[in-house]
Structure 1
Amino acid sequence: MPTDFSIQTRLRLVHSLAISLTALFLSSCGDGSSTTDQTVVRTSELPNIIFIFTDDHGYADLGVQGVRGDVKTPHLDQLAKTGVRMTAGYVTAPQCTPSRAALITGRYQQKFGVEDNNYSPLPLSQATLAEKLTAVGYKTGIMGKWHLDINGASERWYNEVYAPGSSVPFNESNIPFAEKLKYYPESRGFQDNFVGYHNNYRANFNLAGQTISPRTIQDNRFRVDVISEAATTFIDRHKADPFFMYIPYYAPHVPLEATQKYLDLFPGSMPERRRYALAMLAAVDAGVGRIVEKLESYGIDDDTLIIFMGDNGAALNLTKKDILPVSAQTAPNGGSVWDGSLNEPWVGEKGMLSEGGIRVPFIMRWKNHLPEGLVYNEPVISIDATTTAAALAGLATTDMDGVNLIPYLKNPSSKPNRALYWRFMQQSAVRQGKWKYLRTADEGEYLFDLSSDQHEQVNVLSQHPAIAQALHTQLSNWSTSLKTPGLPSGALLGADKYWYDYYFPKN
């Protein structure tokens, strides 16, 4: 059982009991007095855990990063100022499905075959963090985008798992609901669900806080605000319990949308796609502010670890064209449009293993338990968040690939002695300390000193061939542990060639 929070929790329990007894005494005296203190008596010393996951959110778009002057994220900035901001926070993939599969399991997703968006759903063989936390008494909830169920990109699953050898081609609409239900969050450990993308949400509670039979709820309001309201409702429902809340906002991913209230925060001349992305992130920021305020109102703010991060870098469509209407999801040429977010100062974008694709905003805040205002420069990765949460709940973490970050953040002079690894489509990469080795399928090789101001703008492989070789060996050895072993080979094709020809042109 974790002990670093037990003394303070016991003191709060005594304080809360005293408040309750005082209120009872005053009431019995008939003086008409009542208390407005909402402090609750928690049922467990286990900390609450909140994961907030944004979608296609570039590194630059957090005010406290100090990269851009047009960003307005005061609540997230405050979260960083009262917690820890990771300047080298990574995700395990530059795309939605694999990144989420890793976060919810704490494992490199290639170990169980979720290589990219075409490898959904999350295999039933993989235990989720929600399932593990439920087993030790947590109330668990998800509000927002799941993206680990059966969808239009599940043809590979259909051919390899559901109907191998079938002569009937895959059609998502022909998969029985009972089969789809197996992969929904409600079947993967989440007790409270409010899951959806735009206006339709599969939910087992409503925004009045009432439990309902699982059904589709229609809410035509701005999708970010709806999810924020669902999150605060979940806290109302489980304020006294240890809870795990996962809030994967569908923002600022396309199609872009925002209400005038948020758009008005960004007047003046700028690309419209940029204005909408900033407005969507301002809405996320407002939601984070409401969540923290709700925690404070119940006196459980310092019982709650909040981890905020993006799922991958922003999609730029190379030149950041201001394609209108802003709701467009694909460019006229069929490519991916710019979502209005920015990855500065890093090179590249969503879909790439360059820093722009995998280095994201990353904040951890646990009031009175983690240092306030710490800027942590050591490389960390999304699966560390999962491992940290499991460790705080007293769970074994030997089946996870991350590290518990709490000891390192409490003693920043100590550093995790490990490498971080990636393999995605025709790319692979490893980071060890300040060095990053990046490799493409056509034997394109790059070595970058990420401590340098030039970071991925200058390939230093020819100056340090021994370091590059050592990192290549590490990467190759790691790849043997994956479900499909090995590093990508062959000619660089499709989107990978499109990106690398643009961002890393050969002389």
Structure 2
Amino acid sequence: MRRVVIPVAGAVLGLLAGIGPGCDSSPAGPTGGPSPRPNFVVIIADDMAYGLLGSGRRFPFLPLPNLQGLAARGVLFDNAFVTTSLCSPSRATLLSGLYAHTHGVLANESVELPATVATYPQILQRAGYETAFVGKWHMDAQTDAPRPGFDYWVSFRGQGVYEDPLLNENGHAVKRSGYITDLLTEYAVDWLKQSRTKPFLLILSHKAPHNPAVPAERHAAALTDASLPEPLSFADTYEGKPAWERRYARCGGTPAAYAQCPDPQPDRLPPWAWTSRDAPRLQYLRTLLALDDSVGSVLSALDSQGLARSTYVVFLSDNGLFLGEHRLGDKRLAYEESLRIPLVIGGADLTPRRVSAMALNLDLAPTALDLAGLSVPADMQGRSLAKLLRGEPAPVRNSFLYEYQAESFLPIVPDILAVRTATRKYVTYPSRPSDLELYDLLTDPSEMRNLAGRPEWAAAQADLRQALERLIVETGVPQ
């Protein structure tokens, strides 16, 4: 794959100058022997739906042998969620261990993570770790310059492209020919194979399988006989739900689609026919095949370098995605398909297990620091998952706060504040106080019956409202 280097005037390598190399650490490379501090490889998928890994997969015809192998040999979290289902806010949360309203990245592409926010890569770097970032950053799409906390940097502006990308390699613009998933994997594997005397962190942040998805050429003809099963909630009529949701499901959420949606809105949507060979959804699934190849290449590189037993490998998505559930195809909303993500942590001699306790994207930063033997900053709002990884008794959540701030790209979706417990969900829209949703996840896991306002659910609704108000205060949501 061809590399063309383009000089960049005033390359912003100085951003890294304020992050010192920290103290010396024991060797952690193939020539240096094992380190008492573990290494970390964090692989981030972009908009990967929940339910594609483990037993009971939604698409059993989709071959993901490397991801399935990682899940089988590692710790699979069955109840992993994001606190904001949108790319940039969630990525900022992964890095900082903070809610979006705390770190300030509330929308895609327009805002950078503030310099005052300490990230776990910065903390690891100061403690002597060698750090690398390869892939999609997304925050502040006006620049792809290296960000603080990383010794090695390969990225691109904004959402990037699937084919022949223009990349930033350590402050230099480089035009590459090839497929983005394969190119990012090549950078990551090459970096892993370098000799080093420090423990390391590698974040491999893929563009795939973000829509509009483009599979690798080798997978373009895959899944030719696949038939996509209809999700139960594709039959959601939205009866008893906010009118704007019916309009969104009926016509789409962009300003143009919203404006052209004919009035009046029906009280319930009529049945639609499911398309079992839906072309965009099949393209999305095909795009995951190269992502699985990437995971296999990274795991092979760790094994060949003798690093597998000293390295934690984390695989997760920045948020979930609707694949026809509720007749939708994006994220943002507080339905399960939007909130839930795949989360697997393997390697480093972890005993395979499945964990049912709630885990959040907030938890990655404190978990990495805890596993590295470092103190977790008191202001981080996530919790370490280290004890759960080891099968040790640990306090677990019984609820969490979900938040979303409306943005111009999809203005039909208003601000959201919601609480999700182990069995129920209560959703509010601050700019639309009369629009309320309550779901019993035990009897209605597809969230098709809105129970808000029903007399027999008044006590439960009051309890959930109190739980939400308590989380709003505890997490410091601005009022």
Q: TM-score range by the shorter chain?
A: 0.7 to 0.9
Q: Report sequence identity in percent.
A: 26
Q: Partner residue of 1:177?
A: none
**Structure 1 317/202 Cα, relative in aligned 2: closer, same or farther at 3 Å?**
farther
Q: Partner residue of 1:234?
A: 191
Say if 2:394 is the partner of 1:394.
no
Once the two structures are TM-superposed, the CA of residue 305 in structure 1 deviates from its matched residue by 0.9
SS of aligned partner of 1:117: coil
Say if 2:288 is the partner of 1:281.
yes
**Structure 1 188/466 Cα, relative in aligned 2: closer, same or farther at 3 Å?**
farther
**Structure 1 434/137 Cα, relative in aligned 2: closer, same or farther at 3 Å?**
same
2:311 to 304, 308, 331: 304
Q: Partner residue of 2:383?
A: 403
Q: Where do 1:26-425 residues align within 5 Å? A: 40-42=31-33, 44-62=35-53, 64-117=55-108, 120-151=111-142, 184=145, 186-196=146-156, 197-198=160-161, 199-204=165-170, 214-237=171-194, 240-268=197-225, 270-314=277-321, 316=323, 338=329, 349-368=330-349, 370-372=350-352, 374-397=353-376, 398-411=378-391, 414-425=394-405
**Structure 1 417/187 Cα, relative in aligned 2: closer, same or farther at 3 Å?**
closer
The root-mean-square deviation of aligned C-alpha atoms, in Å, is 2.7
Once the two structures are TM-superposed, the CA of residue 215 in structure 1 deviates from its matched residue by 0.2
Q: Is 2:314–2:343's contact at 8 Å kept on the other side of the alignment? A: yes
Does 290-299 or 261-270 show the bigger shift? 261-270
Q: Is 1:55–1:253's contact at 8 Å kept on the other side of the alignment? A: yes
Q: Is 2:370–2:386's contact at 8 Å kept on the other side of the alignment? A: no
Q: Partner residue of 1:6?
A: none
Does 415-424 or 87-96 show the bigger shift? 415-424
Q: Partner residue of 2:231?
A: none
Rounded Cα–Cα distance in structure 2 between residues aligned with 1:239 and 1:116: 37
Which amino acid counterpart does residue 114 of structure 1 have in structure 2? V
Q: Is 1:316–1:350's contact at 8 Å kept on the other side of the alignment? A: no
Once the two structures are TM-superposed, the CA of residue 44 in structure 1 deviates from its matched residue by 2.8
Which amino acid counterpart does residue 233 of structure 1 have in structure 2? D
SS of aligned partner of 1:67: coil
Q: How many residues align?
A: 384
Q: Is 1:43–1:240's contact at 8 Å kept on the other side of the alignment? A: no
Q: CA offsets per residue over residues 283-315 of structure 1, 9 Å max, x none?
A: 011000010011111111011111111111225
Once the two structures are TM-superposed, the CA of residue 255 in structure 1 deviates from its matched residue by 3.4
Once the two structures are TM-superposed, the CA of residue 145 in structure 1 deviates from its matched residue by 0.3
Q: CA offsets per residue over residues 249-299 of structure 1, 9 Å max, x none?
A: 001113322233122332236332223212211101100001001111111
Q: How does the TM-score come out when normalised to structure 1? A: 0.70
Rounded Cα–Cα distance in structure 2 between residues aligned with 1:120 and 1:352: 21
Which amino acid counterpart does residue 264 of structure 1 have in structure 2? A
Say if 2:429 is the partner of 1:440.
yes
Which amino acid counterpart does residue 168 of structure 2 have in structure 1? R
Q: Is 1:195–1:201's contact at 8 Å kept on the other side of the alignment? A: yes
Q: Partner residue of 2:467?
A: 474
**Structure 1 146/437 Cα, relative in aligned 2: closer, same or farther at 3 Å?**
same
Rounded Cα–Cα distance in structure 2 between residues aligned with 1:412 and 1:396: 19
Once the two structures are TM-superposed, the CA of residue 433 in structure 1 deviates from its matched residue by 2.9
Rounded Cα–Cα distance in structure 2 between residues aligned with 1:415 and 1:447: 26
Q: Is 1:449–1:455's contact at 8 Å kept on the other side of the alignment? A: no
Which amino acid counterpart does residue 421 of structure 1 have in structure 2? L
**Structure 1 71/417 Cα, relative in aligned 2: closer, same or farther at 3 Å?**
same
Q: CA offsets per residue over residues 24-71 of structure 1, 9 Å max, x none?
A: xxxxxxxxxxxxxx9543363111112111111111333655222232
Does 127-136 or 261-270 show the bigger shift? 261-270
Rounded Cα–Cα distance in structure 2 between residues aligned with 1:238 and 1:475: 50
SS of aligned partner of 1:111: helix
Unaligned 5+ segments in structure 1 are 1-9, 17-37, 152-179, 205-213, 321-336, 339-348, 487-507
Once the two structures are TM-superposed, the CA of residue 115 in structure 1 deviates from its matched residue by 2.1
Does 62-71 or 124-133 show the bigger shift? 62-71
Unaligned 5+ segments in structure 2 are 1-25, 227-276, 406-414
Rounded Cα–Cα distance in structure 1 between residues aligned with 2:442 and 2:202: 35
Once the two structures are TM-superposed, the CA of residue 86 in structure 1 deviates from its matched residue by 1.4
More helix as a share of residues: 1
Q: CA offsets per residue over residues 110-138 of structure 1, 9 Å max, x none?
A: 11322222751111111121111100011
Rounded Cα–Cα distance in structure 2 between residues aligned with 1:249 and 1:404: 24
**Structure 1 444/241 Cα, relative in aligned 2: closer, same or farther at 3 Å?**
same
SS of aligned partner of 2:447: helix
Rounded Cα–Cα distance in structure 1 between residues aligned with 2:326 and 2:438: 25
Does 473-482 or 395-404 show the bigger shift? 473-482
Rounded Cα–Cα distance in structure 2 between residues aligned with 1:195 and 1:118: 14
Q: Is 1:376–1:412's contact at 8 Å kept on the other side of the alignment? A: no
Q: CA offsets per residue over residues 431-451 of structure 1, 9 Å max, x none?
A: 233232222232322333334
Q: CA offsets per residue over residues 316-366 of structure 1, 9 Å max, x none?
A: 58787xxxxxxxxxxxxxxxx95xxxxxxxxxx401121111111111113
